[in-house]
Structure 1
Amino acid sequence: MTNATAQAVAIAPEALQQTVAEVLGDKIKKTKLEHGEVTVEVAPADYFEAMQLLRDAPGCRFDQLLDICGLDYSAYRDGAWEGQRFAVVAHLLSVELNQRLRVRVFCADDDFPVVATLCPLWSSANWYEREAFDLYGIVFEGHEDLRRILTDYGFIGHPFRKDFPVTGHVEMRYDAERRRVVYEPVSIEAREITPRIIREDNYGGLH
């Protein structure tokens, strides 16, 4: 087997889990192997240093940051969740070693969720973190241009939070007479959606 072929063979998830545990040591709070994928959880205080180790350590070499997303656990398990409300999940890829890793960090403060930015490690973190800030209100400390990226600059709130109303707070439209965008109270009336019941006799006797 050539070196190129050997590098293309993905490492076993169990071996990756062990390697990551050795590299991060006591920076790991939890680790899980599920459906062939490894997930590790680190504390917010260790987040940046842990990610730098995962990028640079010989057995890891996660040179690509594929995605960062926010999570709101306030309604998780029908509201029975007792941990921190907000989390950030990063997905890493090592092209050299053909392996993937998921890293999760919970924000320590539910009222002001904040974690370190990963922009100094991966430039791709820039827009991913702006999206998580826009939709969840998670602040990435050290980000040089943390502003909304999907919603309007005057948007109120963070629409992916579980307590954000489905109809939103205001409506936005362009007013031709005033020649500008205006914000108005929501005009959509709330309605109760009743599930449709499908009965056997509706199938016309087909079985």
Structure 2
Amino acid sequence: MTDTVTTAHAVEPEALKSTLATLLGAQARSIEVVREEVTLTVAAADYFAVMQTLRDAPASRFEQLIDLCGMDYQTYGDGRWEGQRFAAVVHLLSVSHNHRLRVRVFCDEDDFPVLASVTPLWAGANWFEREAFDLYGIVFEGHDDLRRILTDYGFIGHPFRKDFPLSGHVEMRYDAERQRVIYEPVTIEPREITPRIIREDNYGGLH
């Protein structure tokens, strides 16, 4: 006697797009298929409700959250971007239907970016949301333990923001006299590093 394993066939992107359009209606700001991948964009106000629908509805059944990351669009498109600055991008997987989805949601405010936490839906979002908070300053309302996860407690700012200085704001060192770690204003002078461009004719013997 042999065991039989049934594997769901992958859903075509256009079919998934149609399913999502029917399922979400006006809650879907846009649904795009690029390079055979589906990206759904939703408003911050609808974010949690949409994610719950995507997890629970029989037509979608996205049981797993694979990844969540922050985004800063400040300099996107060489400055031609006119939308909101901060967003979260989430990758979901449906084991039941064998399909994947990218969900993008923009924060309403640039000065204080806030989104609902999806940790009540997927516990695995915990550290991902902490990382997005640490690196981009996105606050996830409803998160039980939203604190830095990669930088230390004395860190100032959010290092993945496009306007964050490469040298940072403070530096850390051990002070032997005080016998403890201290923070001081950074002493590295900011400078632009421009790569050397070789323009000699026939460089390297190439014609």
TM range (shorter): over 0.9
User: Where in structure 1 do 4 or more consecutive aligned residues deviate above 6 Å?
Assistant: none
Q: How does 1:29-68 map to 2 (within 5 A)?
A: 29-68=29-68
Aligned to 2:179: 179
Offset of residue 200 of structure 1: 4.7
Answer whether contact 2:62 2:93 (CA < 8 A) is retained: yes
Aligned to 1:90: 90
Aligned to 2:165: 165
Q: What's the TM-score once normalised by structure 1's chain length? A: 0.93
In structure 1, how many angstroms separate the alpha carbons of the residues matched to 2:170 and 2:163? Answer: 15
Offset of residue 191 of structure 1: 2.7
Answer whether contact 2:140 2:146 (CA < 8 A) is retained: yes
In structure 1, how many angstroms separate the alpha carbons of the residues matched to 2:128 and 2:162? Answer: 20
Aligned to 1:99: 99
Unaligned runs of 5+ in 2: none
Aligned to 1:148: 148
In structure 1, how many angstroms separate the alpha carbons of the residues matched to 2:44 and 2:197? Answer: 47
Q: How does 1:187-206 map to 2 (within 5 A)?
A: 187-198=187-198, 199-203=200-204, 205=205
Aligned pairs, how many?
Answer: 203
Deviates more, 1:174-183 or 1:127-136: 174-183
Aligned Cα RMSD in Å? 1.5
Answer whether contact 2:67 2:92 (CA < 8 A) is retained: yes
Q: Quick one: percent identity of the two aligned structures?
A: 68
Task: Map Cα deviations across residues 45-65 of structure 1 (whole Å, 9 max, x no partner).
Answer: 110010001001112110000
| 2:6 paired with 1:4 | yes
Q: What's the TM-score once normalised by structure 2's chain length? A: 0.93
SS at match of 2:29: strand
Unaligned runs of 5+ in 1: none
